[in-house]
Structure 1
Amino acid sequence: MSQPILDARNVVKRYGRFQALSGVDLRVMRNTIHSVIGPNGAGKTTLFHTLTGTVPLTAGSISFNGKEVGGMADHERVQLGMARSFQVTSLFPTLTVRENLRVAAQGIQPRKALHFWSKSLLHDAHAELIESILARLELTHCIDRVSSQLSHGQQRRLEVGMALAAKPQIIFLDEPTSGMGIDDIDAMKAIIQGLRADLTVVLIEHNMGIVMDISDTITVMQLGRVLVEGTPEQVKSDDRVRQAYLGNMITGGG
């Protein structure tokens, strides 16, 4: 049996007296799309924060490629091959698309990362990587545009590109289609599906049509715990999901 690329066990996160995560287990298999869904307040984004090192664990363990990373800082996890995007777009608004990607690529090299505003910014040492990311995200025609001038959909794609610039083995995408129109949603859906060919995707997504179409495994959370986990068909047919998560949104039923 193949081993998971990410194995989180009994993950607990407390903020004072409030327990946001209560013993969450998550096993993510390599080269799959694993979606995490649930009502508002279920703990999805908090789980992402703990898995990627944005916030520290209260208890539990997180193993990546067999290595314990639960005590590591976020930048250390990035260097091991873990990258993420955020629900709110976070770009360098005054830099071009090319420069945003170059900064992200330099960020995985600690000594260079400290000097990304220096002359090295003018010298593209990552041209091949940047060009491949732009082609993958269909942003080649925007390479010299300032990121603040991009459409919302293009900005969301660029943020995924910045995560890809770290050359990850696993990428965490938090609501990548948030605020998008139909055409941009379809484009992002195709991009996420394409990522599975050479890396692993962990996805938080409110659009149930996308989740059901592209996921290999779905974890349903409720009140900081795992409620159900399975294939899209298993999740659709589970009565607990219908009761806890507006079943008509997932199953198409009433």
Structure 2
Amino acid sequence: MSTPILLEAIGVEKYYDKFAALGGVNLKVRANTVHSVIGPNGAGKTTLFHMLTGTKTLSAGRILFDGHDVTNEPDHRRVQRGIARSFQVTSLFPSLSVRENLRLAAQGTAPARALNCWHEPEGPRACADTVASVLAKLGLESFATVPAGNLSHGQQRRLEVGMALAARPKAIFLDEPTSGMGIDDLDDMKRFIQSLRDEHTVVLIEHNMNIVMDISDTVTVMQQGRVLAEGLPHEIRSDDRVRAAYLGNMITGGKA
């Protein structure tokens, strides 16, 4: 794959007292790809996301993003550099409209503008172009004025991804974006995530193996805080170490 490396983790460690949640993780994510991180519960996937996005601090190691050493930068600074994230648990403003949720997310990239409560969100502060673009990508134009709390679960999950997109990121981190979705919503979300790599780099935690194998360019498998295997989907599918450690007979499909 010829695209340049956008994000690199070098020997990343995270300790909680004597417990090693991450025991020296090396990871390279190429631009404009879907890079999935999988593994059993407790493998360290979400902890790795915290390290890469700046939600928590490293115990050791380095993180490089877009040519910058961001190891010691807080999460809001990484957002300004082009890193955005959605979370496993839906985090929306349920009483605000879909449009207002997206506007707030777009404003959040500039703290001084976002915290200006004394003026109406007009002109540049309305982020109208960004909001309209994200609404179109989400296919939620007809729901723009609907309170987020009134959306279906699948629509809410899409909106949360949209809030990350509203920050106009170079890399978007998605933590189980299909969690709790019904079958009817899964195909739409799968196509949507796959389409994001046209303009973004996607780093994905996902337990639905059908989705992982269908849309990923690279799959990294974690076990006990370390990288067990990495490769193309078909390589991971046939890796005996992965089968033994995690996927077993479920590698052919379904949710593991």
Q: TM-score, normalised by structure 2?
A: 0.95
Q: Is the partner of 1:14 in helix, strand or coil?
A: strand
1:88–1:221: structure 2 CA closer, same or farther, 3 Å change rule?
A: same
In the TM superposition, 1:12-51 aligns within 5 A as 12-51=13-52
| 2:167 partner letter | A
Is the deviation greater in 11-20 or in 28-37?
11-20
Q: Secondary structure at the match of 2:10?
A: strand
Is 1:119 the counterpart of 2:122 in the alignment? no
User: 1 CA distance for matches of 2:11 and 2:65?
Assistant: 15
Q: For residue 157 of structure 1, what is the aligned residue in structure 2?
A: 158
Give the equivalent residue in structure 1 for 2:66.
65
The question of whether the paired residues in 2 share the 8 Å contact of 1:99 and 1:121 is answered with no
Q: State the 1:182 CA deviation.
A: 1.0
The number of equivalent residue pairs is 252
Query: 2:222 — aligned with what?
Result: 221
Distance change >3 Å, CA 39–CA 10, structure 1 → 2: same
1:84 paired to 2:85? yes
Q: In the aligned structure 2, how far is the partner of 1:110 from the partner of 1:131?
A: 21
Shift of 1:125: 2.5
2:101 is equivalent to residue 93 of structure 1: no
Indicate if the aligned counterparts of 1:237 and 1:251 stay in contact, CA closer than 8 A: no
How far residue 16 of structure 1 moved from its aligned partner, in angstroms, is 1.4
Secondary structure, counterpart of 1:89 in structure 2: coil
**SS state at 1:206 partner:** coil
CA distance in 2, matches of 1:118, 1:158: 27
1:93 Cα shift?
1.5
User: What is the root-mean-square deviation of aligned Cα atoms in Å?
Assistant: 1.4
Q: Per-residue displacement from partner, 1:200-228 (whole Å, max 9, x unpaired)?
A: 00000010000000000000000000000
1:246 Cα deviation (Å)?
A: 2.8
Which letter does structure 1 place at the counterpart of 2:90? Answer: T
Which residue number in structure 2 is paired with residue 131 of structure 1? 132
SS in structure 2 of the partner of residue 233 of structure 1: helix
The answer to whether the Cα contact below 8 Å between 1:36 and 1:220 also exists between their aligned partners in 2 is yes
SS at match of 1:5: strand
Unmatched segments (≥5 aa) in structure 1 = none
Q: Secondary structure of 1:78's partner? A: helix
> Is 1:180 aligned to 2:170, yes or no?
no
Which position in structure 2 is the counterpart of 1:75? 76
Letter in 1 for 2:127: H
| 1:111–1:252 Cα change, 3 Å | closer
CA deviation profile, 1:181-211 (whole Å, cap 9, x unmatched): 1111111101101101111000000100000
What is the one-letter code of the residue matched to 2:121? L
Distance 1:182 1:211 in 2: 15
Q: Are 2:236 and 1:235 equivalent residues in the alignment?
A: yes
Structure 2 contact 223–245 (Cα < 8 Å) conserved = yes
Distance 1:119 1:190 in 2: 39
8 Å contact from structure 1 (residues 7, 28) kept in 2: yes
**Does the 8 Å contact 2:221/2:228 carry over to 1?**
yes
CA distance in 2, matches of 1:244, 1:109: 44
Length-normalised TM-score, structure 1: 0.96
Does the residue aligned with 2:42 lie in a helix, a strand or coil?
coil
* 2:10 corresponds to 1:5: no
Equivalent runs, 1:175-214 vs 2, <5 Å: 175-214=176-215
Q: Read off the aligned partner of 1:163 and give its amino acid letter.
A: A
Task: Tell whether the 8 Å contact from 1:103 to 1:121 is kept in structure 2 after alignment.
Answer: no
Query: Structure 1 segments of 4 or more deviating over 4 A?
Result: none
Task: Compute the displacement of 1:74 (Å).
Answer: 0.3
For the residue of structure 2 that corresponds to 1:99, the secondary structure is helix
The sequence identity of aligned pairs, in percent, is 64
Alpha carbons of 1:2 and 1:138: their partners in 2 closer, same or farther (altered >3 Å)?
closer
Q: Show the counterpart of 1:106.
A: 107
Cα distance change of structure 1 residues 190 and 2 upon mapping to structure 2, 3 Å threshold: closer
